[in-house]
Amino acid sequence: MKPMIRTKILLKKFVKASLYPLHGFPVTYWYRGDGHILMLHRVRPKSKTKRLKTVEELEATPEYLEKLINHYIKSGYTFLSMDELYEVIQLKSGIKKFVAFTLDDGYGDNYHFAYPVFLKYKIPFTIYVSNSFPEGRANMWWYYLENLVVANKFIEVEDPTNKNVTRLNCSSDKDKHLAFHTARRIIINNLTSDKIESVRGLFGEENTVPDKELLRAMSWEEIKELSDDPLVTIGCHTLNHLNLSILKKEQMIHEIVESRRQLTEKLKKTIHHFAFPFGSKEEVSERELAFISQSGFKTVVTSFKEVFKIDRADAKKLPRLFFSGNSGFRNQINGTRHFINKFFPD
Ligand SMILES: [Zn+2]
């Protein structure tokens, strides 16, 4: 190899290494943060049907979760519940290298596959439940959309606001990824409580109906059983899992307040923790942040991709680290996406 080329490769490696937070490289020190709130959704065996990578990577197998927990144990992390994390934030000091496990939505596999793993290691965790899940009326349109994109060479999506029809190419895997995210954004930006049924109608065809196991939510009995275990915290994730920032103010308030009221009634305990549905800066505006900070929750988590520093953490606007069962952790700092595959070697 010519020296010039080799220098270039080494330089490339150096730049890459220095961009990976948690990689143990000195340059990354300032990006490292004090710990993680991990955002998971599903823990289940790998699907046998053809899936879209971008959706499937929201899932971890029980074996992967176990390896992940072992990695944190070996690396000397402290496992915190959201109540404990709240205390640490109030004190603004104390623990470095902590991790808090959170799972969003209320999928059935949280009870059947994740809970036994957490129980085995006595790891505290939080599930943010959207009431529509245990009530059997959750509109999991993302799985219908996934099937539609997997099965077709193109799809057409009509924007309900301006009636513009967008034709999305789904030929290659890359096209399917882009098509899914474009259609997902159109739905998220338009789906209000009064339109839930009409979106259901979009996916009426037989071949778009997802695997039953994928659509399985936890029942109220299962959630109550988890809630009675001191390891488990049940948090609020709104009534219908909508983009709160597009709702009328009174609808937005109803989604939060009524969800919390019902959870309190069903579980017979105060609900102290909240997670925004979707939760990126595109779905969480200043209006929602202002309302939630006055709502009496101890902590509020978002999907904001920011470094977590205890001394400047805002308990009502906490960032989370997106967990991917396929490619390790992802983080996004200052607009640059980092894939931290090496952080968790097999
Ligand atoms: Zn969610």
- Provide the residue ranges of all domains of the chain, joining segments of one domain with +: 1-28, 33-139+220-343, 141-208
Q: How far is the CA of 258 from the centre of ligand 1 (A)?
A: 17
Give the Å distance between the CA of 180 and the centre of ligand 1. 17
Question: In whole angstroms, what is the distance from residue 110 CA to residue 295 CA?
Answer: 27
Q: What is the rounded end-to-end Cα distance, in angstroms, of the chain?
A: 30
Ligand 1 centre distance from Cα of residue 275 (Å): 8
Rg (CA), the chain: 21
Please identify every residue whose CB atom is under 5 Å from ligand 1, which is an ion. 104-105, 277
152-189 b/e with 16+ CB inside 10 Å = b?
beebebeebeeeeeeebebeeeeebbbbbeebbebbbe
Domain 33-139+220-343 belongs to what architecture? Answer: Alpha-Beta Barrel (3.20)
pLDDT at residue 12, as a whole number: 55
Ligand 1 centroid to 252 CA: how many Å?
A: 15
Rounded CA-CA distance 151/193 in Å is 28
Question: Ligand 1 centroid to 22 CA: how many Å?
Answer: 26
Distance CA 346, CA 338 (A): 19
Q: How far is the CA of 277 from the centre of ligand 1 (A)?
A: 4
Query: What pLDDT, on the 0 to 100 scale, is given for residue 57?
Result: 83
Rounded to whole angstroms, the Cα distance separating 39 from 105 reads: 11
CA 274 to ligand 1 center in whole angstroms: 11
Q: CB within 8 A of 48, min separation 6: which ones?
A: none
Alpha-carbon torsion angle 254, 272, 35, 113, nearest 10? -80
> What are the E-state strand segments in 51-191?
59-60, 78-79, 98-105, 125-129, 154-158, 165-169
Q: Are 264 and 274 in contact (CB under 8 A)?
A: no
- pLDDT score recorded for residue 205: 62
CA of 16 to the centre of ligand 1 (A): 32
Along the 346 residues of the chain, how does pLDDT read in single tens digits?
Answer: 556 656 555 555 544 444 444 433 333 444 467 888 999 999 999 988 889 988 988 898 999 899 889 888 988 889 999 999 999 999 887 677 889 999 999 999 999 999 999 999 999 999 999 999 999 999 898 998 999 899 889 888 877 777 788 889 999 999 999 999 999 998 898 888 877 776 665 665 666 778 888 999 999 999 999 999 999 999 999 999 999 999 999 999 999 999 999 999 999 999 999 999 999 999 999 999 999 999 999 999 999 877 778 888 899 999 988 776 654 444 433 333 333 333 332 2
Residues 228-266: b if buried by 16+ CB within 10 A, e if exposed: eeeebbbbbbbbbbbbbbbbeeebbebbbeebbebbeeb
Report how far ligand 1's centroid is from the alpha carbon of 124 (Å). 19
Report whether 237 contacts 128 (CB < 8 A): yes
- 129 Cα–ligand 1 center, Å: 8
Q: How far is the CA of 197 from the centre of ligand 1 (A)?
A: 19
Q: How far is CA 341 from the centre of its chain?
A: 18
Describe the crossing of helices 286-293 and 249-267 by its angle, rounded to 10 degrees: 40
The Cα 216–Cα 200 span in angstroms is 16
Which pLDDT does position 206 carry in this prediction? 60
CA of 39 to the centre of ligand 1 (A): 10
Q: Write the DSSP string, 255-313.
A: HHHHHHHHHHHHHTS---EEE-SS-STTT--HHHHHHHHTTT-SEEE--------GGG-
15 C-alpha to ligand 1 centroid (Å) = 34
Q: Is 290 exposed, middle or buried (0-12, 13-18, 19+ CB in 10 A)?
A: exposed
Q: Quick count: other Cβ atoms within 10 Å of Cβ 100?
A: 27
Ligand 1 center to 279 CA (angstroms)? 8
- Which position has the token pair 């200052």? 334
What is the CA 168 to chain-centroid distance, rounded? Answer: 25
Cα(128) to centroid of ligand 1, in Å? 8
| Centroid of ligand 1 to alpha carbon of 29 (angstroms) | 31
- The token pair at 88 is 């640490």
* Cα 240 to ligand 1 centre (Å): 10
Strand ranges (E), 184-275: 232-236, 273-275
Ligand 1 center–CA 341 separation, angstroms: 24
From the CA of 312, how far away is ligand 1's center (Å)? 26
